[in-house]
């Protein structure tokens, strides 16, 4: 296993279009997180899955955003009706199911909305 994998690495879309990103976590990791990061800021938490259950959602996750992890393995993050303010790096991370442990990040998907 080479780590957390995200694709695409880059996505340019027109305002109003829908986009979907995929994250493949490290295989034995039960926990999966999505973050958004803009220039000069730290990663902002969006949502958390434990296996297939979405257990935590940030207020940043508007109703245009939806995330799934149908079989408890890979996850998708969809943004509907994209806006220019959605332009950011979308990071996925995974971790083992222990009380507290470090999260391992993927390379991210950079979204540009034009």
Partner 1 sequence: GQNIDQPTEMTATEGAIVQINCTYQTSGFNGLFWYQQHAGEAPTFLSYNVLDGLEEKGRFSSFLSRSKGYSYLLLKELQMKDSASYLCASYNQAGTALIFGKGATLSVSS
Q: Which is nearer to partner 1, 17 or 41 (CB)?
A: 41
Of the candidates 31, 80, 26, which has an alpha carbon nearest to the alpha carbon of residue 53? 31
Query: Binding marks (x or -) toward partner 1, 81..100, rule CB under 8 A?
Result: ----------x-x-----xx
**Calpha distance 73→26 (Å, rounded):** 9
Q: DSSP character for 29?
A: -
Residue 86, φ and ψ in degrees, nearest 5: -80, -10
Give the tokens for residue 46.
Answer: 């969006």
Pick out residues in 46-65 that bind partner 1 (CB under 8 A).
48, 50, 55-56, 58
Residue 41 Cβ vs partner 1, minimum distance, rounded to whole Å: 5
Residue that is written with structure tokens 């879309």 in the block: 13
Residue 77 Cβ vs partner 1, minimum distance, rounded to whole Å: 15
Q: Which is nearer to partner 1, 77 or 103 (CB)?
A: 103
Cβ proximity of 113 and 82 under 8 Å:
yes
User: Interface with partner 1 by CB under 8 A: which residues?
Assistant: 4, 33, 35, 40-45, 48, 50, 55-56, 58, 91, 93, 99-100, 102-108
């Amino acid at each position: 296993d080479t780590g957390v994998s995200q694709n695409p690495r880059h996505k340019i879309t027109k305002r109003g279009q829908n986009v979907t990103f995929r994250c493949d976590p490290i295989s034995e990791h039960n926990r999966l997180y999505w973050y958004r990061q803009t220039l000069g800021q730290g990663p902002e938490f969006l949502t958390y899955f434990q296996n297939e259950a979405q257990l935590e959602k940030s207020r940043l996750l508007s109703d245009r955003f939806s995330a799934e992890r149908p079989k408890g393995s890979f996850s998708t993050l969809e943004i509907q009706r994209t806006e220019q303010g959605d332009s950011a790096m979308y990071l996925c991370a995974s971790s083992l199911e222990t009380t507290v442990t470090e999260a391992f990040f993927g390379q991210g998907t950079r979204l540009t909305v034009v």
